[in-house]
Amino acid sequence: MIATNRNRLYYRTAEACRMAGISRSTLLRWFRNGTLKDVTHWDRRGWRLFTQADIERIRYEADKASEKVGLGQISLKS
């Protein structure tokens, strides 16, 4: 977790993925294919910074995906 000078909390990619219950590769795939809009905050190294609202959007998408798996609409096997 990173605190900025505006007293806002940000999370790095690994933390955001852990909190949302998905893998890093899934998150990055969702950004690439447009399932999720990319974050708007980056640190000086160019690493993504996630707000709590960003993590909630990721969780929502993860919940939708898991419901589809449960209904047999998609398969996790490649």
pLDDT 10s digits, 11-68: 999 999 999 999 999 999 999 999 999 999 998 899 999 999 999 999 999 999 887 7
Task: Please report the domains of the chain, with CATH numbers, ordered by start residue.
Answer: 2-70 (1.10.1660.10)
**77 or 47, which is more confident?**
47
Other CB atoms closer than 10 Å to residue 29's CB: what's the count?
13
Q: What's the predicted TM-score (pTM) here?
A: 0.79
Going by pLDDT thresholds of 50, 70 and 90, the confidence category of residue 7 is confident
- pLDDT on residue 78: 39
